[in-house]
Amino acid sequence: MATGIRTESEAVGLATRSTRGEVGGWRDQPVLLRLVSIALFAGIWEIAGRIPVSFAFPTFSATFTAFIGLIADGSLPLAYVSTLQPLLLGIVLSAFLGVGLGTLCGLWRTGEWLLIPVFIVLQAAPVAAFIPMVTFVYGIGMTAKTLAVMILALPVIVLNTYKAVRNVNESLVVMCRSFLGTRWQVVTQIVLPDASPVIFAGLRLGVAAGFVGVVLAELLITPTGIGDLITFHRSRADYAEMYATIASIIALSTLTLIVLQWIEVRVFRPETRGA
Amino acid sequence: MRAAVLRKEPSSMPAPIDPIVEVRGISKSYGSTEALRGIDLDFPRGKLTSLLGPSGCGKTTLLKIIAGLIKANAGSIAVDGKVVTAPGPERAFVFQDFALMPWATALRNVAFGLELRGKARAEREEIARHYIAEVGLAGFEDKYPHQLSGGMRQRVGLARALSVDADVLLLDEPFSAVDEQNRRKFQEDLIRLRSNQNKTFIFVTHSIEEAVYISDRIVLLSPRPGRVSQIIEPEIDRSGDPDLIHRDKHYLDTVQEIWQGLKQYAE
């Protein structure tokens, strides 16, 4: 009985939400649209593979079969175990260090002069060129891979956070001070929430760059993990397996970004939910 | 406190009795621009005083100096006899641009002043709910600022200032970003709120009609640099129908008198 009533009220809630948009109908079915988009992509891939565009370009179905095979024989999970450790460590370190340093530079003039030029140069530089250097100093282990993730992810996180903190709504800061907010409260209650959309944009770019960093490191330096799996299958001309590996890391990267966005909306900007 | 409320006899004497805010010799310059020069003012307890003047007369600057948000170059501000240089619990500010946190509901925005003071959640939300109802926003507690109209947002700003229970409310052109109909309604509500809140209001406005309509005392400031040019105490009975005030003879005469004084500054 109670469940019946609940479902009904939920249905009413859904109906009012969908009528709120200007255009009704199929546009209000984002899940369906996304599935159609994915199916369309897979279809075009399949056709391109069957033409074929290149002898080294497998069809979607062959790639998918290879993907199942890679999971079944354990080589893909094993590769991820070795790739995810430096990736996760590097991203988490970059996120905390980056947001911390960026906030510091945004609030403190001396810090801004000391650090921001370094990060502007780092962001402009083709940092992938540093990766062999990192290997030279730190050898071919976790440290080198983690550093590769960080030199790619850190600059964009620091610079976005710094810009967001510098452009914080001054009127809200004054409001917080007038209601007796301490310096710490101004930062945690006003500056960071107000800056959070731009900080998260930086985090998303940073996470994406971190994926680039770890794959580059594995292709260039340490023949382990996903990078090694890609190289290995390429050398054996197992193109379906190679594509499956590449697609899997793209999918994982996308999934991470979606999770990040979900956290942002849930925790920091609830007012943008459903808007 | 009670004595101050009872002291209601109409007096045309500009000398105020029992000032709660005392401004002494305040001067302020921005670089070579002199915003305020030697301001001496007393704000009587329990009254609504307007700072009125053309743009550039430094009225908002003076209000922010009283609030402790801007430092003066010279002079001092005393509240309840104590010299203040920073924001304090006895003053609360209502902002021209509302200054509401877009990520917080109306309820959290109103309770924010108490949240900063570390009051427990249940307690501060109960107080916030009371003042949300007081400003006529009951039912909108869980709405975000972008879901409210300009007038409603400023009601949230007013409720936030009321909920910290300060003796002095500082309002910086609170209705300038609110449309005309809502401004009228808001002014009427402010007259009603004043009569049951027993607080001192300092109100910055550039509207002569608004100042005369709601104020016990109007301080006219002249521009460049800002100085006190005249103090007017309109004797208008606000106990009856607020609509009648607009037709009151004293109201119309005072508006005219102020306009004659300010005309010279109009460009």
B160 vs A179: CB contact, 8 Å cut-off? Answer: yes
The reply to whether A37 falls in a domain is no
A206 close to A153: Cβ distance less than 8 angstroms: yes
- Tokens 């430092």 label which residue? B71
Q: Residue A27: its pLDDT value, please?
A: 65
**Beta-carbon count within 10 A of A111 CB:** 16
Which residues are CB-contacts of B14 (< 8 A; sequence separation ≥ 6)?
A: B231, B233
Distance CA B173, CA B203 (A): 7
Residues lower than pLDDT 70 in chain B = 1-17, 266-267
B7-20 tens-digit pLDDT: 334 444 555 568 89
Q: Residue A274: its pLDDT value, please?
A: 52
Token pair belonging to A91:
């991203």
Q: Which of A181, A182, A271 sits opposite B103 (nearest CB)?
A: A271
Q: Residue A25: its pLDDT value, please?
A: 62
What backbone phi and psi angles, to 5 degrees, belong to B27? -130, 145
CA distance to A162, A190, A209, B95, per residue, from A169 (Å): 14, 9, 29, 13
Q: Residue B239: its pLDDT value, please?
A: 73
Distance CA A223, CA A90 (A): 18
Token pair belonging to A92:
């988490």
- Helix or strand or coil: residue A242? helix
Q: Residue A89: its pLDDT value, please?
A: 95
Does B58 touch chain A if contact means CB atoms closer than 8 Å? no
d(CA A7, nearest CA chain B) in Å = 23
Residue of chain B whose Cα is closest to the Cα of A190 = B101
Q: Residue A211: its pLDDT value, please?
A: 92
Instruction: For chain A, 275 residues long, give each residue's pLDDT as a single digit of tens.
Output: 333 333 333 333 333 344 444 445 666 678 888 889 989 999 999 998 888 888 888 999 999 999 999 999 989 999 999 999 999 999 999 999 999 999 999 998 888 898 899 898 888 888 778 887 887 788 778 888 899 899 999 999 999 999 999 999 999 999 999 999 999 999 999 999 999 999 999 999 999 999 999 998 888 877 888 998 999 998 898 899 999 999 999 999 999 999 988 888 887 777 776 54
Residue of chain B whose Cα is closest to the Cα of A189 = B116
Residue of chain A whose Cα is closest to the Cα of B67 = A178
Amino acid at B28: K
Distance CA B38, CA B30 (A): 15
Q: Residue B145: its pLDDT value, please?
A: 93
A178 vs B68: CB contact, 8 Å cut-off? Answer: yes
Instruction: HSE, CB side, 13 Å, CA atoms: give it for residue B144.
Output: 12
Q: In degrees to the nearest 10, what's the CA dihedral of B127, B131, B136, B137?
A: -50
- Helix or strand or coil: residue B203? strand
The reply to whether A196 falls in a domain is yes
Q: Looking at this predicted complex, what is its ipTM?
A: 0.86
Q: Which residue blocks in chain B are alpha helix, DSSP H?
A: 2-6, 59-67, 106-116, 121-134, 150-163, 180-197, 208-214, 242-245, 249-262
Q: Residue A250: its pLDDT value, please?
A: 92
d(CA B258, nearest CA chain A) in Å = 32
Q: Residue A7: its pLDDT value, please?
A: 36
Q: Residue A273: its pLDDT value, please?
A: 62
Q: Can you give the CATH number for the domain in which A105 is found?
A: 1.10.3720.10
B21 close to B175: Cβ distance less than 8 angstroms: no
Residue of chain B whose Cα is closest to the Cα of A183 = B116
**Beta-carbon count within 10 A of B256 CB:** 12
Distance CA B75, CA A130 (A): 59
DSSP readout, B219-235? EEEETTTBEEEEEE---
Q: Which of A172, A185, A196 sits opposite B116 (nearest CB)?
A: A185
Q: Residue A202: its pLDDT value, please?
A: 93
* CATH 3.40.50.300 domain span(s) along chain B: 21-78+198-267
Could you tell me the residue range of the domain that residue A265 belongs to? 88-272
Which residues are CB-contacts of B177 (< 8 A; sequence separation ≥ 6)?
A: B96, B97, B98, B150, B154
d(CA A187, nearest CA chain B) in Å = 12
User: Please, what CATH class does the domain formed by B21-78+198-267 belong to?
Assistant: alpha beta
CA distance to A81, A118, A211, A216, per residue, from A135 (Å): 21, 21, 18, 12
Distance CA A212, CA A148 (A): 9
A189 vs B116: CB contact, 8 Å cut-off? Answer: yes
CA distance to A41, A52, A248, B139, per residue, from A47 (Å): 10, 8, 20, 57
**Beta-carbon count within 10 A of B235 CB:** 12
Amino acid at A170: E
The reply to whether A49 falls in a domain is no
* Residues in chain B closer than 8 A to A270 (CB atoms): 103, 144
